[in-house]
Amino acid sequence: DAGVTQSPTHLIKTRGQQVTLRCSPKSGHDTVSWYQQALGQGPQFIFQYYEEEERQRGNFPDRFSGHQFPNYSSELNVNALLLGDSALYLCASSSSGGATEFFGPGTRLTVL
Amino acid sequence: EDQVTQSPEALRLQEGESSSLNCSYTVSGLRGLFWYRQDPGKGPEFLFTLYSAGEEKEKERLKATLTKKESFLHITAPKPEDSATYLCAVQGEGKLIFGQGTELSVKP
């Protein structure tokens, strides 16, 4: 049973560029959430997707956008990158009837 | 406003020295309280979900308990491989709210 997978593992970008991160949920899960984790901090909720729509959003600017595909996989897009966007980006999946979220290994984004 | 506070921020133990980590929370309509373990540079690994006050769950050397205002993660006779950051999170209306974590170091 495959768990949550994310790609790429690491990414280096420069200020002003755009980035796309990808996530495949755990088998049987239909809900995907994205989190940003700065060094030494707990994860911060960005948004959640269910049935290909954004269901809930945290306190992040519109530069952060996402998408969910019919196979439940998801993308996180960040435009006009800032130095402060450097962080570990985590994807988590859950089933619509359950509360527990399972996390992927994360994508480490560095903005220079 | 939903909030989670973990203490201590860091904890150093000798192998075999039992201790507890604290997670205090305020949330509107608790749907669940979660404990995760996170190794450096990795994603959080799920440990426990607690749903109501008085509930307890155990896994190997770990035991999680829940009251109406806080949760404890008890570590009995820890080993060096238990060294990690332990994250607590609550779910109110859909999203998880995390604490900043407790960094546990267990020395042999």
Q: Which of B43, B51, B95 sits opposite A45 (nearest CB)?
A: B95
Predicted confidence (pLDDT) at residue A1 exceeds the cutoff of 70: no
Cβ atoms A78, A85 nearer than 8 A: yes
Query: Which parts of chain A fold into alpha helices (H)?
Result: none
pLDDT tens, residue by residue, B2-61: 899 999 999 999 999 999 999 999 988 888 999 999 999 999 999 999 999 999 999 999
Nearest CA in chain B to A39: B41
How far apart (Å, rounded) are the C-alpha atoms in residues A29 and A74?
12
Contacts of A90 in chain B (CB under 8 A): 43-44
Interface of B with A in 82-101 (CB under 8 A): 87, 89, 91, 93-101
Nearest CA in chain B to A38: B100
pLDDT tens, residue by residue, A34-74: 999 999 999 999 999 999 999 999 999 999 999 999 999 99
How far apart (Å, rounded) are the C-alpha atoms in residues B44 and B42?
7
The phi and psi torsions of A30 (rounded to 5 degrees) equal -125, 0
Would an 8 Å CB–CB cutoff place B40 in contact with chain A? Answer: no
Sketch the domain layout of chain B as residue ranges: 3-107
Q: Do A43 and B46 touch (CB under 8 A)?
A: no
Q: Do B49 and A90 touch (CB under 8 A)?
A: no
Question: What amino acid occupies position A6?
Answer: Q
First to last CA, chain B: 41
Cβ atoms A28, A35 nearer than 8 A: no
**CATH superfamily entry for domain B3-107:** Immunoglobulins (2.60.40.10)
pLDDT tens, residue by residue, B46-84: 999 999 999 999 999 999 999 999 999 999 999 999 999
Q: Decide which of 3.40.718.10, 2.60.40.10, 2.130.10.10, 3.50.50.60 is the CATH code for A5-111.
A: 2.60.40.10
Cα dihedral angle (A92, A95, A100, A101), rounded to 10 degrees?
0
Predicted confidence (pLDDT) at residue A6 exceeds the cutoff of 70: yes
Predicted confidence (pLDDT) at residue A14 exceeds the cutoff of 80: yes
Sketch the domain layout of chain A as residue ranges: 5-111
Q: Assign 3-state DSSP to chain B and report helix, strand, coil percentages, each to 5.
A: 5, 60, 40
